[in-house]
Amino acid sequence: MGHIFILAFAKFCPLEQDAETTSGRPVRLDLPTRTFDQKTLVNAWIIHGGPASIGAVLNIHGNGCVEALKQEALQLMREMRVWKLAEKFCRIIESFDADAV
């Protein structure tokens, strides 16, 4: 579900050009928020925006990011093949066409 949200966010929400994280680096959205520092970074990103990364995608607003996010999510779903919902989530993820808005 999280990948689907990030995919929709990357596709439909433009990055504000002046938005910057407190660290100056993209916030890693795929790291657990169990540590205080990571939780603080993610909460600040939610409130203020700025660059973000997930997995091998270093910038969720970069060129080709929608397709890269889609492929990463599909790979994750393939690894969780034993779940009955995985096939349904894969169909949802595959429905994101990078060119259509």
Write out pLDDT tens, residues 51-60: 888 888 888 8
**Mean of all residue pLDDT scores within the chain:** 78
Q: What is the mean pLDDT of residues 30-40?
A: 85
Question: Would you call 84 helix, strand, or coil by DSSP?
Answer: coil
Specify the pLDDT at position 19: 55
Helices and strands per DSSP (H, E), number in the chain? 4, 2
pTM comes to: 0.64
Write out pLDDT tens, residues 51-86: 888 888 888 888 888 888 888 888 877 777 666 667
Cα–Cα dist 33/78, whole Å: 25
Domain segments of the chain: what residues?
2-94
